[in-house]
Structure 1
Amino acid sequence: MFRSRTLAGGGPLSGFSSKIAHTTRFPSLLGNQDLRALQDLITDEKGVVSGLQKLSLDWAKAADALRVWSLSEDDDLGDISTQAVAMLSHISQSLDQFALHEQSVRTHLKDIRSKEEGLDGLRRHRRVVGRGIWRRNLLK
């Protein structure tokens, strides 16, 4: 589950630390606090996507149940039921498509987070190098 990945920080625990940094249970342990809002957004988007997928499935089940029920009814109700089933199916497909678009947005947000984390590593490295140059200038 916690495979090590090479990030800007490197090392065998960098994958583990990124997993902890990307959770909302331990917000202050690891990770850039400036990215906390972005991480919260990514987490919330995950809930939205799963909710949309569940809602889409529920609408599809409702359409199927209406279709089955309408088979036992007379022709007048059957005509209306056929159109209602078509509308419910269309709503289900639309919600499913919207969930796919939301998943795409979430993927882009995760890419942004990864790039920001890489930049954070470069910023830390720049500070370390700058301190070293500053100390060398002091010793001269």
Structure 2
Amino acid sequence: MPVDSYETVSNRALSNDALWQKIVDDFQYAVDHLPAVQTEVGRANRIAAAAYLAKTYLYKAYRQDSEERHAVTGINQGDLEKVLQNADIVLASNHALEADFAFNFLPGKYENGTEALFSIQFSKMMVRNSAV
């Protein structure tokens, strides 16, 4: 889609349930097609997709009364079952809680630790100004 067409796209084209289902479908496709382990650090894998799918089902499970109040009126048990199924994929992987919570924030050998499901990687680039 061209950038100049972005403003013409409605964010109300889908119902709440249809929008959640679209997100579920994307993450389910990732769970079904990504490898459990990637060779490059920072690439999404099946475990990360399953974690996000579980989180999506958790949000999707709660039914609300209106866009103004957002009071919970029910919880979809089928969606909660999907939360558990996808959480089991994560729990069966090599991911676990760190021995020390601080390890999640320390650099060096602690980066991309056992608790990290999907970490954005970056590099610091040096920009040189040239004098004219």
Q: Same fold (TM over 0.5)?
A: no
Larger Rg: 1
Q: Which has the higher contact order (CA 8 A, sep 6+)?
A: 1
The structure with the greater share of residues assigned to strand is 2
